[in-house]
Amino acid sequence: MTTTLNDDQTAALNAVKTGRNIFLTGAGGTGKSHTIRAIVAWAKETGIRYDVTAMTGCAALLLGLKAKTLHSWAGIGLGRESPASLAESIKRSRKTQRRWMDCQLLIIDEISMMTPELLEKLDFIARRVRRRPDVKFGGIQLLLAGDFCQLPPVQKPSANGGGGGGGDTTPTPLFAFESAAWGALIDATHHLTKIERQPDPVFQAILTEARMGALSEASIAILQGRKGLPWSTDQIRPTLIFSRNADVAAINAANMDALDGESVIFKAATIQSATTHIDAELEAQLSRLDLDAPYEPELQLKIGAQVMLITNLDQERGLVNGSRGVVLNFTSTGLPVVRFLSVSEPVTIDRATWMLPDNDQVGRAQIPLKVAYAITIHKSQGATLDCALIDIGSNTFEYGQAYVALSRVRSLEGLHIWSLNPFKVRCHPAVAAFYSTATPS
Query: What average pLDDT does this structure show over 394-420?
Result: 86
Let me know whether 30 and 94 are in one domain: yes
Do residue 48 and residue 189 come from a single domain?
yes
Instruction: Confirm whether 227 is domain-assigned.
Output: no
Q: Are residues 158 and 293 in the same domain?
A: no
Higher pLDDT, residue 312 or 92 = 92
pLDDT in tens, 288-336: 888 878 889 999 999 999 998 888 888 778 787 778 899 999 999 999 9
Asked which of 323, 344, 374 is the last residue of a domain, the reply is 374
Domain final residue pick, 161, 178, 197: 197
Cβ atoms of residues 432 and 183 within 8 Å: no
The residue segments making up the domain with residue 260 are 246-374
The 10s digit of each residue's pLDDT in 262-282 is 999 999 999 988 888 888 888
Task: Give me the number of domains the chain comprises.
Answer: 2
Q: What is the CATH number of the domain that holds 95?
A: 3.40.50.300
What span, in angstroms and rounded, lies between the C-alpha atoms of 180 and 426?
26
Please give the sequence-ordered ranges of beta strands (E in DSSP) within 249-302, or none if there are none: 264-267, 269-272, 298-301
In a shared domain, residues 319 and 171: no
Q: What is the mean pLDDT of the chain?
A: 86
pLDDT digits (tens, 9 = 90+) for 345-364: 999 999 999 888 767 788 99
Q: Is residue 214 part of a domain?
A: no
Cα–Cα dist 225/242, whole Å = 19
**Does the residue 350 lie in any domain?**
yes
81 found inside a domain: yes
Same domain? For 62 and 125 the reply is yes
Residue 233 lies in a domain: no
Whether 430 contacts 172, CB under 8 Å: yes
- Give yes or no: residues 257 and 364 share one domain: yes
Is the residue at 30 inside a domain?
yes
Which one has a higher pLDDT value, 374 or 217? Answer: 217
- Asked, for residue 167, whether it belongs to a domain, the answer is yes
Predicted TM-score (pTM) of this structure: 0.73
* Residue 157 and residue 57 in one domain: yes
